[in-house]
């Protein structure tokens, strides 16, 4: 078992090392910026997976946190000339407040309300970002954001490190006792509640963690593209998070990373051919939902379990209680 | 006085627009448990179908029929090929309809571009009627009448026909309906198509009023969701009342503070979830 666990850690470790080394091997700034955006989207996808994959609740306004993180950093540093640290604290506070309000209203009732409230809030903030010209700059956005680290390679390394930390943190969360409760909530919320767990508390907690991480992704993104614009709040971004997680495999964390890689490469390949690459994304998404609901990771898992089955001795006959 | 008359007519016409938009959404959700997030995009395609019919025939009534029938057929196909294969897995169904929004929106952008197409109302609906000191556009009044007529027709359909009986029974006790030997699949198919046709009709009626452009769908789904939450999930009557509440609220707020119109809808929605999670007018109980 311990050997298996060690193996499990080798792959992510190798991945991180490879990611860190790439910019020093290839000098192409295109590769670096593509990898930067893949890593940032991975962080966003991981935050989404915490909700959908581990707790079984789908947010349809997850872009809300991403966009808020982006806009708050842009507004406070560009317009108000705040120091970056203060801006980051502000992002944290706002993400906590928003996610608390959402969870306060929706965790008591069916998950359906969470779906609808997140959808409605996301739409509201998107429309507000296009209308409140004085604060958000409307469709022109808020340009002139200073990156956290001016050097592109340096910024990329920062993003990779943050991705690794986020991944590690989420891995700890979902494998902690609290993580087991979350999975239990996903399987059967009522029964988990009857077992004496405070379902509301756990759901609130995970909604907040997820919101904060998504806000962090937004901060990193705005600091890499240097402008905050309304599309960062649009529900199409939520669809992209959903797509990455579903395509990669829900409830795996690394599935989000796989999904981010596939999606970003698809985007950069297709956006040269057609501006309507969202159409292809949408069609692929629907096909995956219809035919491969467990995603890429599900295929890996199936292969792995098949391998295991052949190695293991035949299981004992089940004893009925 | 001016203000009051304006608020009554404009608020009422906005309410009827919300009703046309959300009644099908609510009906589908109530019977099948499918939260069809692409309903707004169906509405948007209804606008385009109506626009096409207007361009080729120029007949106002054919335009309305094209919107309803076109989207009804679209709903039929969607239920058969996208919703049914998921075998009642509601999470996947919601995810799928959410993805479908972008497929439908992007297809519209490919077919029609991002510009708005305007359709003028037939001559007998142009101009305005003087009510007291205020001039009310005739088309607004037509929208109000159309909303009320569709409400009455749908109520009769649900209350007086066998299909309506089955739909109402299916909303209350789905298993019982299946147990007494009714082909639920067929009822689902018909209801889904009917709900979509209502969205298409709504789009067709709205097109001379707001034009046809691709982002209508994502703008309007917000209102449909709010109506369903406020009116109670799956309650047809509830969605009518909730449309009135939200339509008037949105119009009154936008009259005085234009930028807060959407926020007012959201606040009403959140307050209802907090205090009456089953909606103000009953509807399906939370499972």
pLDDT digits (tens, 9 = 90+) for A270-290: 877 777 788 888 898 899 888
Per-residue tokens: A29: 């700034």
**What is the model's pLDDT at position A4?**
61
Mean pLDDT lowest for which of A93-97, A231-235, B48-52, B64-68? Answer: A231-235
Nearest residue to B73 via CA among B255, B220, B200, B209: B200
CA distance B47 to A291: 32
Asked if A270 has any chain B CB less than 8 Å from its own CB, the reply is no
Does the CB of A34 have a partner CB in chain B at under 8 Å?
A: no
Say yes or no to pLDDT of A228 above 70.
Answer: yes
Residues of A with Cβ-Cβ distance to B94 under 8 angstroms = 58, 60, 115
Residue B286 pLDDT more than 80? no
Residues in B closer than 8 angstroms to A235, CB to CB, are 101, 218
Share of chain A above pLDDT 90, in %: 34
Q: How far is the C-alpha of B268 from the C-alpha of A61, rounded, in Å?
A: 18
Mark yes or no for CB contact A239/B99 under 8 Å. yes
Alpha-carbon gap: B102 to the closest alpha carbon of chain A (Å): 6
Residues of A in contact with B82 (CB under 8 A): 286, 290
Q: How confident is the model at residue A27 (pLDDT cuts 50, 70, 90)?
A: low
CB B232 within 8 Å of CB B238: yes
- Mean pLDDT across the stretch A61-80? 92
Residues of B whose CB is below 8 A from A230: none
Give B279's pLDDT tier (boundaries 50, 70, 90): confident
pLDDT for position B89: 83
The parent domain of residue A212 ranges over 29-235
Nearest CA in chain A to B273: A105
Q: Could you tell me the pLDDT band of residue A158, with boundaries at 50, 70 and 90?
A: very high
pLDDT at residue A149 tops 80:
yes
Q: Are the beta carbons of A228 and A68 closer than 8 angstroms?
A: no
Most confident of A26-35, B3-12, B187-196: B187-196
Look at residue A112 in the predicted model and tell me its pLDDT.
Answer: 84
B residues 141-200 lying closer than 8 A (beta carbon) to A: none
Output the pLDDT for position B207: 92
Contacts of B122 (CB under 8 A, 6+ apart): B60
What are the extents of the domains in chain B?
A: 2-114+132-275
- Between A109 and B12, the more confident residue is B12
Considering only residues A320 and B246, tell me which one the structure prediction assigns the higher pLDDT: B246
How many angstroms separate the CA atoms of A217 and A250, rounded? Answer: 19
**For residue A309, pLDDT beyond 60:** no
Segment 78-137 of chain B within 8 Å of chain A by CB: 82, 85-86, 89, 91-92, 94-96, 98-103, 105-107, 109-110
Q: How much of chain B exceeds pLDDT 90, in percent?
A: 46
The residue behind tokens 């029609």 is B112
The DSSP symbol for A277 reads: H
Residue from the list A112, A282, A293 with its beta carbon closest to the beta carbon of B92 = A293
Residue-level pLDDT at A307? 58
Structural domain includes residue A14: no
Average pLDDT for A245-252: 87
Residues B232-250 have a mean pLDDT of: 89
Considering only residues B156 and B233, tell me which one the structure prediction assigns the higher pLDDT. Answer: B156
Per-residue pLDDT, B282: 66
Total domains, chain A: 1
- Give the residue from chain B lying closest to A105, CA to CA: B274
A45 close to A248: Cβ distance less than 8 angstroms: yes
**Residue B73: pLDDT band with limits 50, 70, 90:** very high
pLDDT of residue A250: 86
Minimal Cα distance from B225: which residue of A?
A: A116
**In whole angstroms, what is the distance from residue B261 CA to residue B125 CA?**
28
Nearest C-alpha in A relative to B100: A282
Task: Please report whether residue A61 resides in a domain.
Answer: yes
Q: Which residues of A touch B35 (CB under 8 A)?
A: 112, 115-116
How close B26 gets to chain A, by Cα (Å)?
A: 13
- The yes-or-no verdict on residue A1 having pLDDT over 50 is no
B-chain residues within 8 Å CB-CB of A293?
89, 92
What is the Cα–Cα distance from B273 to A118, expressed in whole angstroms? 13
Element spanning A71, H or E: helix A63-74
Would you call B270 an interface residue with chain A, using a CB distance cutoff of 8 Å? yes
For the residues A192-201, what does the mean pLDDT come to? 89
**What pLDDT is recorded for position B74?**
96
For chain B, the average pLDDT equals 88
Better-predicted residue by pLDDT, A276 or A46: A46
Chain A contact for B77, CB < 8 A? Answer: no
CATH number for the domain running over B2-114+132-275: 1.10.3470
Chain A CB within 8 Å of residue B271 CB: no
Token pair for B30:
């109530």
> Are residues A279 and B107, on separate chains, in Cβ contact within 8 Å?
yes
Q: Is the pLDDT at B283 greater than 80, yes or no? A: no
Q: Say if the Cβ atoms of A279 and B103 lie within 8 Å.
A: yes
Cβ atoms of B23 and B239 within 8 Å: the answer is yes
ipTM for the whole complex: 0.86
Q: What is the largest CA-CA distance in chain B?
A: 60
Q: Are A66 and A217 in contact (CB under 8 A)?
A: yes
User: Residue A321: pLDDT above 50?
Assistant: no
A17 inside domain: no
The predicted structure's pLDDT at residue A312: 47
Over the stretch A207-218, which tens digit does the pLDDT of each residue have?
Answer: 999 999 999 999
Whether the pLDDT of residue A317 is over 90: the answer is no
pLDDT of A316 > 70? The answer is no
CA of A58 to nearest chain B CA: how many angstroms apart?
8
Average pLDDT, stretch B220-235? 87
**B41 CB-near residues (< 8 Å, 6+ apart):** B100, B101, B104, B105, B108, B217, B218, B221
Tell whether the model's pLDDT for residue B285 goes beyond 50.
Answer: no
Q: Is the pLDDT at B284 greater than 80, yes or no? A: no
Q: Output B169 or A308, whichever has higher pLDDT.
A: B169
Residue of A nearest to B85 (CA): A290
Chain B closest CA to A86's CA: distance in Å? 28
CA–CA gap between residue B100 and residue B121 (Å, rounded): 31
Contact predicate B209/B147, CB 8 Å: no
Number of H helices, E strands in chain B: 11, 2
């Amino acid at each position: 078992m311990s050997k298996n666990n060690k193996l499990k850690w080798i792959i992510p470790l190798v991945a991180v090392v490879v990611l860190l080394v790439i910019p020093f091997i290839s000098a192409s700034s295109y590769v670096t910026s593509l990898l930067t955006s893949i890593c940032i989207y991975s962080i966003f996808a991981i935050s989404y997976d915490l909700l959908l994959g581990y707790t079984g609740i789908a947010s349809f306004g997850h872009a809300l946190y991403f966009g808020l993180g982006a806009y708050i950093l842009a507004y406070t540093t560009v317009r108000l000339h705040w120091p970056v640290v203060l801006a980051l604290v502000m992002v944290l506070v706002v993400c906590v407040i928003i996610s608390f309000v959402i969870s306060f209203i929706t965790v008591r009732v069916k998950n359906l309300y969470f779906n609808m409230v997140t959808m409605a809030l996301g739409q509201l903030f998107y429309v507000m970002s296009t209308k409140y010209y004085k604060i958000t700059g409307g469709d022109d956005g808020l340009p002139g954001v200073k990156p956290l680290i001016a050097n592109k390679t340096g910024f990329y390394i920062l993003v990779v490190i943050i991705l690794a930390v986020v991944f590690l943190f989420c891995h700890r969360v979902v494998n902690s006792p609290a993580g087991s409760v979350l999975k239990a909530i996903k399987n059967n919320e009522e029964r988990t509640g009857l077992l004496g767990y405070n379902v509301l508390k756990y759901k609130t907690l995970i909604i907040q963690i997820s919101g904060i991480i998504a806000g962090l992704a937004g901060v990193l993104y705005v600091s890499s593209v240097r402008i905050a614009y309304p599309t960062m709040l649009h529900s199409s971004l939520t669809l992209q998070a959903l797509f990455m997680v579903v395509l990669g495999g829900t409830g795996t964390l690394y599935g989000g990373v796989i999904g981010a890689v596939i999606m970003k490469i698809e985007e950069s390949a297709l956006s040269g051919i057609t501006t309507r690459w969202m159409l292809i994304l949408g069609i692929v998404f629907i096909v995956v939902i219809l035919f491969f609901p467990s995603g890429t990771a599900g295929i890996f898992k199936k292969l792995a379990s098949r391998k295991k089955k052949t190695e293991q001795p035949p299981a004992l006959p089940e004893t009925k209680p | 006085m001016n203000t009051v008359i304006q608020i009554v007519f404009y608020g009422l016409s906005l309410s009827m627009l919300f009703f046309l938009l959300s009644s099908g959404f609510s009906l589908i959700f109530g019977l099948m448990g499918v939260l069809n997030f692409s309903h707004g995009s169906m509405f948007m395609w209804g606008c385009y179908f109506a626009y096409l019919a207007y361009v080729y025939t120029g007949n106002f009534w054919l335009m309305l029929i094209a919107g309803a029938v076109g989207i009804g057929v679209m709903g039929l196909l969607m239920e058969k090929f996208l919703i049914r294969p998921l075998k009642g897995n509601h999470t996947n169904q919601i995810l799928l309809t959410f993805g479908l929004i972008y497929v439908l929106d992007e297809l519209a952008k490919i077919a029609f571009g991002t510009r708005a197409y305007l359709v003028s109302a037939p001559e007998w609906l142009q101009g305005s009627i003087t009510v007291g000191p205020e001039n009310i556009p005739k088309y607004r009044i037509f929208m109000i009448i159309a909303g009320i007529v569709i409400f009455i027709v749908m109520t009769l359909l649900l209350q007086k026909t066998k299909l309506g009986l089955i739909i109402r029974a299916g909303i209350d006790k789905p298993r019982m309906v299946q147990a007494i030997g009714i082909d639920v699949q067929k009822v689902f198919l018909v209801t889904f198509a009917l709900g979509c046709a209502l969205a298409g009709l709504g789009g067709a009626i709205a097109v001379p009023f707001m034009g046809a452009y691709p982002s209508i769908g994502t703008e309007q789904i917000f209102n449909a969701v709010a109506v369903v939450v406020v009116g109670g999930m799956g309650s047809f009557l509830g969605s009518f009342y909730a449309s009135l509440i939200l339509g008037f609220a949105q119009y009154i707020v936008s009259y005085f503070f234009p930028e807060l119109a959407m926020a007012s809808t959201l606040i009403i929605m959140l307050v209802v979830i907090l205090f009456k999670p089953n909606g103000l007018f009953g509807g399906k109980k939370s499972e």
